């Protein structure tokens, strides 16, 4: 594994840790729900304190007065964000001014904004245009990096090809797999330290005021895993996007259905074995019942409806599994006596459970168990609700 891949992994894990340790109080936040097409827009003129948003196409035109957390396929941030931005998506475009730092992971990333603090970015292709300005440090790992924007702090970069065509006030450290290129407008005020297979390509008008230290990396005759590097980097990005989306979804569910989630959480943890058994039975027998109903002409409609409900409960159970896991962890670590659920349980549970799932077999088994527990608890509380409703509708004699 070469320098670029190692740096991408380290940066990606750093983004995960930053997300975990810097989640703010969700009760001061606003949650935006995507429309039927999975798209979400914050219109120009809207002002939101803290925003958590997930969907297919995310468009931020309004002003975010504090932090922005978002995940989606295509994310475009045109409005001003007063504090920090954490974003993950296939395509991420940042044009609005950012008052804090920016943490971004994605496939194609375009930065055209003024960023008051640091920029942390990992992706397939990263471009900082001339209209951008980074007042802090730049930490970037990508297959292709293009820096046209002035950087007031230091630069630490890793990539296949890195192109610099702007003024950089701090020092520059680069790990380059293919080529480092300094174009005519490149002006490095301090030292340049870089590792590469070959020396940099420097335009005659480019300036390096400090020292230049070149560490030549020897080319390996064989690289068995070279063809797997890009897929692996993409998997890292997908993992980060999935983690961020799951955290946002969990916080949205907690914000909208706090009382229901606390009942499910309490039922899951106080009747763990019962919930596990019911979840397993439901997972196996509900599809069988759907199939039997489908084989009868009169039961096709009921079968379709039951299967739709089954898929919905599976989706909810998967979303709640991390929350229940987090509540269980905090109850053990802090010896809490209650079963209340708040944002720490959501963030801790989802993050740790997703990381555990990276462990083959054992990690998958742990998540499967908590999925069954949450599924069984959903079935149990639904059945209790049906019985309570039926008793109320039956008239007393």
Total domains present in the chain:
2
The beta strands (E) that lie in the chain are given as: 30-32, 40-42, 47-48, 51-60, 63-64, 68-77, 85-94, 102-111, 114-115, 119-128, 133-134, 138-147, 155-164, 167-168, 172-182, 187-188, 192-196, 201-202, 207-208, 212-216
Q: Please tell me the predicted confidence (pLDDT) of residue 77.
A: 96
Indicate if 268 and 377 belong to the same structural domain: yes
CA distance 191 to 286: 66
Indicate if 277 and 350 belong to the same structural domain: yes
Indicate if 312 and 192 belong to the same structural domain: no
Q: Using an 8 Å Cβ cutoff, are 68 and 87 in contact?
A: yes
**Those residues with Cβ within 8 angstroms of residue 262's Cβ, 6 or more apart along the chain or in another chain:** 339, 340, 341
CA distance 139 to 295: 59
Q: Nearest to residue 274, comparing CAs of 383, 386, 387?
A: 383
C-alpha dist (Å) from residue 210 to 54, 189, 199, 360: 44, 6, 17, 48
Indicate if 25 and 149 belong to the same structural domain: yes
Tell me how far the alpha carbon of residue 108 is from its chain's centroid.
15
Dig out the tokens for 311 from the structure: 């898929």
Provide the residue count of the chain: 397
- 243 assigned to some structural domain: no
End-to-end CA distance of the chain, in Å?
Answer: 77
- In this predicted model, what pLDDT tens digit does every residue of 303-344 receive, in sequence order? 788 888 888 888 888 888 988 888 888 777 777 667 778 877
C-alpha dist (Å) from residue 92 to 42, 69, 305, 336, 389: 16, 13, 38, 40, 47
Indicate if 279 and 382 belong to the same structural domain: yes
Indicate if 200 and 280 belong to the same structural domain: no
Which residue, 186, 209, 228, sits at the end of a domain?
228
CA distance 59 to 55: 10
Which residue ranges of the chain lie beneath pLDDT 50?
1-28, 222, 224-225
Indicate if 10 and 103 belong to the same structural domain: yes
Give the domain extent around 316.
257-391
Q: Please tell me the predicted confidence (pLDDT) of residue 92.
A: 93
C-alpha dist (Å) from residue 219 to 163, 193, 198, 288: 21, 19, 10, 58
- 234 assigned to some structural domain: no
Which residue, 207, 228, 249, sits at the end of a domain?
228
Indicate if 306 and 223 belong to the same structural domain: no
Q: Nearest to residue 185, comparing CAs of 165, 200, 203?
A: 165
- 170 assigned to some structural domain: yes
- Beta 133-134 vs 155-164: how paired, if at all? unpaired
Q: Please tell me the predicted confidence (pLDDT) of residue 129.
A: 97
Q: Using an 8 Å Cβ cutoff, are 197 and 178 in contact?
A: yes
Indicate if 220 and 297 belong to the same structural domain: no
Indicate if 180 and 264 belong to the same structural domain: no
Task: Taking each helix axis as running N to C, give the angle between helix 343-356 and helix 300-334, from 0 to 180 degrees, rounded to the nearest 10.
Answer: 100
CA distance 237 to 123: 7
- In this predicted model, what pLDDT tens digit does every residue of 245-286 receive, in sequence order? 788 888 888 888 888 888 888 888 888 888 888 888 888 888
Indicate if 332 and 374 belong to the same structural domain: yes
Q: Using an 8 Å Cβ cutoff, are 89 and 108 in contact?
A: no
Q: Nearest to residue 74, comparing CAs of 63, 86, 85, 59?
A: 59
Indicate if 169 and 278 belong to the same structural domain: no
**226 membership: H or E segment, kind and range:** none
Three-state DSSP class for 211? coil
Confirm whether pTM is higher than 0.85: no
């Amino acid at each position: 594994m070469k320098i670029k891949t190692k740096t991408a992994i380290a940066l990606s894990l750093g983004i995960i840790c930053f997300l975990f340790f810097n989640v703010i109080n969700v009760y001061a936040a606003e949650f935006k729900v995507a429309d039927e097409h999975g798209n979400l827009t914050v219109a120009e003129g809207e002002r939101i304190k803290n925003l958590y948003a997930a969907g297919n196409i995310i468009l931020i035109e309004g002003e975010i007065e504090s932090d922005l957390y978002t995940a989606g396929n295509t994310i475009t941030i045109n409005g001003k964000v007063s504090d920090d931005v954490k974003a993950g998506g296939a395509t991420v475009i940042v044009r609005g001014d950012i008052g804090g730092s920016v943490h971004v992971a994605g496939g194609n990333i375009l930065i055209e904004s003024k960023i008051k603090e640091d920029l942390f970015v990992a992706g397939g292709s990263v471009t900082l245009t001339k209209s951008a300005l980074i007042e802090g440090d730049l930490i970037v790992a990508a297959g292709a990096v293009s820096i046209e924007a002035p950087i007031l702090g230091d630069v630490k970069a890793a990539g296949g090809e890195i192109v610099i065509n702007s003024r950089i006030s701090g020092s520059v450290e680069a790990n380059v797999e293919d080529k480092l290129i300094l174009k005519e407008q490149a002006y490095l005020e301090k030292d340049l330290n870089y590792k590469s297979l070959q020396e940099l390509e420097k335009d005659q008008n480019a300036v390096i005021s400090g020292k230049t230290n070149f560490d030549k990396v020897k080319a390996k005759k064989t690289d068995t895993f070279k063809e797997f590097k890009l897929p692996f980097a993409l998997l890292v990005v997908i993992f980060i996007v999935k983690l961020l989306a799951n955290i946002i979804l969990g916080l949205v569910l907690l914000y909208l259905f706090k009382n229901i989630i606390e009942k499910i959480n309490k039922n899951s943890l106080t009747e763990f074995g019962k919930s596990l058994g019911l979840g397993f039975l439901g997972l196996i027998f509900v599809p069988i019942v759907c199939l039997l109903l489908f084989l009868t002409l009169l039961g096709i409609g009921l079968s379709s409806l039951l299967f739709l409900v089954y898929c919905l409960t599976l989706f909810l159970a998967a979303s709640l599994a991390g929350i229940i896991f987090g509540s269980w962890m905090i109850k053990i670590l802090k010896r809490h006596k209650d079963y209340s659920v708040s944002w720490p349980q959501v963030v801790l549970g989802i993050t740790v459970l997703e990381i555990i799932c990276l462990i083959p077999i054992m990690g998958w088994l742990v998540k499967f168990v908590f999925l069954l527990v949450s599924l069984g608890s959903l079935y149990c509380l639904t059945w209790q609700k049906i019985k309570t409703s039926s008793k109320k509708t039956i008239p007393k004699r």
